[in-house]
Amino acid sequence: MIERVKKHFNEVENFTSSDIKKIEEFRLSYAGKKGILNDLFAAFKDVPSKQKKTFGKELNKLKQLVNKKVKDLKSKSKTFSSKIKINDTSRTAFPIRTGNRHPISIVKNKIIEIFSQIGFSISEGPEIEDDWHNFSALNLPLHHPARDMQDTFFIQTDPDVLLRTHTSSVQVRHMEKNQPPIRTISPGRVYRNEAISSRAHCIFHQVEGLYIAKDVSFADLKQTLKYFTEALFGNSEIRLRPSYFPFTEPSAEVDIYWGLETETDYRITKGTGWLEIMGCGMVDPNVLKNCEINSDEYSGFAFGMGIERIAMLLYQVSDIRLFFENDVRFLNQFKPTI
């Protein structure tokens, strides 16, 4: 008799199926009214009394094994889960897969957080801009050669309406509406008529920063940037190289020391270890005048950076186009770890 029970142990253990019907058939064959378990329980009375105790124990074990097997297989079976989802509204909700934030949003939010901590507000402006806010007010009058630095998409044939080429246009809008002290950052999407490659795209994102108050100096700018790069990249060295932007004087480009540990480091820093991450400078008094801010009383600094560039560095992404393809295999890899 005991042998009979043991044989069933093997059978139950080896049974597997993900088909809900088969699992139910299996359950009935053991635990149904006319099932094997009932047969065995009925046979209990014929077991010699010496063996009754062991037989009873084994039989109970078999019953438990059958219950566990059915429960496990059912919870694994998809058909079962979806059935439950529809029919049993009192059941606790299944965990909902919420997806991930886009890497550009993760980096943007981090930059916003870092500047919010030192009192910068957020300002936003339109992506379709006019010539004044994107160029002229920023000390880039019509026909100024520096306009060529940013290849522009114009809307239809009107040269006054364009897709903003940088978020510096938001600076102008903010200064027109607010008097100093001003401390604001403007994140947003920008457009340039550039050939698309692994390093450049016609759409990308920037964060612009602006600080206007009394007696603002270049040292304040450098200190702010140092605070920012340390918060974002960890303890990193920065250097400022003289550069040219029409809206700032003097102007500089900011490099961080990225290091030369891996082959990728060599490639992205062109063997120098240094990497350019943004432009900056002291706001040109002409820009302040254009926005009706007294340039004798106030001075300020501004800076602007590309979010893709920074995301590529932080996440070691080698092709900018990946950010715009919305391939979930790419997007699923980003967790807000920074």
Q: In the complex, what is the shortest distance from the CB of residue 208 to ligand DAH, in angstroms, rounded to a whole number?
A: 5
Cβ pair 275, 191 in contact under 8 A: no
Q: Does 166 bind ligand DAH (CB under 6 A)?
A: yes
Among 187, 246, 279, 300, the residue binding ligand DAH under the rule CB under 6 A is 279
Q: Does 186 bind ligand DAH (CB under 6 A)?
A: no
Question: Quick one: 1 or 149, whose CB is closer to ligand DAH?
Answer: 149
Q: What is the C-alpha radius of gyration for the chain, rounded to an integer number of angstroms? A: 34
Question: Quick one: 77 or 186, whose CB is closer to ligand DAH?
Answer: 186
DSSP 220: H
Among 182, 238, 302, 322, the residue binding ligand DAH under the rule CB under 6 A is 302
Question: Quick one: 180 or 279, whose CB is closer to ligand DAH?
Answer: 279
Question: Quick one: 62 or 282, whose CB is closer to ligand DAH?
Answer: 282
Number of Cβ atoms within 10 Å of the Cβ of 165: 21
| CB-facing half-sphere around the CA of 247: CA atoms within 13 A | 30
Q: How many residues bind ligand DAH (CB under 6 A)?
A: 11
CA 317 vs CA 87, 226, 276: distances in Å: 45, 24, 16
Closest CA to 258 of 245, 243, 276: 276
Q: Does 291 bind ligand DAH (CB under 6 A)?
A: no
Dihedral (CA of 16, 19, 22, 26) sign:
positive
Q: Does 168 bind ligand DAH (CB under 6 A)?
A: yes
Spatial neighbors of 194 by CB under 8 A, at least 6 apart, are: 151, 200, 201, 202
Q: In the complex, what is the shortest distance from the CB of residue 123 to ligand DAH, in angstroms, rounded to a whole number?
A: 13
Q: In the complex, what is the shortest distance from the CB of residue 75 to ligand DAH, in angstroms, rounded to a whole number?
A: 55
Q: Does 208 bind ligand DAH (CB under 6 A)?
A: yes
Specify the amino acid at residue 264: T
Dihedral (CA of 144, 148, 152, 157) sign:
positive
Among 107, 275, 277, 280, the residue binding ligand DAH under the rule CB under 6 A is 280
Binding part of the chain for ligand DAH, among 126-134, 174-182, 279-287, 291-299 by CB under 6 A, reads 279-287
Q: Does 300 bind ligand DAH (CB under 6 A)?
A: no
Binding part of the chain for ligand DAH, among 13-21, 114-122, 221-229, 297-305 by CB under 6 A, reads 297-305
Q: In the complex, what is the shortest distance from the CB of residue 155 to ligand DAH, in angstroms, rounded to a whole number?
A: 19
Burial of 175: CB neighbours in 10 Å, binned 0-12, 13-18, 19+: buried
Closest CA to 197 of 106, 322, 16, 47: 322
Dihedral (CA of 148, 229, 204, 188) sign:
negative
Closest CA to 114 of 225, 271, 193, 39: 225
Nearest-CB residue for ligand DAH: 304
Question: Quick one: 23 or 170, whose CB is closer to ligand DAH?
Answer: 170
Segments in the chain forming alpha helices (H): 2-14, 20-31, 36-43, 49-76, 78-87, 103-116, 131-134, 168-177, 218-233, 263-268, 285-290, 307-315, 322-325, 328-331
Binding part of the chain for ligand DAH, among 53-61, 262-270, 298-306, 307-315 by CB under 6 A, reads 298-306
Binding mask 231-260 for ligand DAH (x = CB under 6 A): --------------x--x------------
Among 134, 211, 304, 310, the residue binding ligand DAH under the rule CB under 6 A is 304
Question: Quick one: 28 or 118, whose CB is closer to ligand DAH?
Answer: 118
Q: In the complex, what is the shortest distance from the CB of residue 281 to ligand DAH, in angstroms, rounded to a whole number?
A: 4
Residues of this chain that interact with ligand DAH (CB under 6 A) are 166, 168, 208, 245, 248, 279-281, 302-304
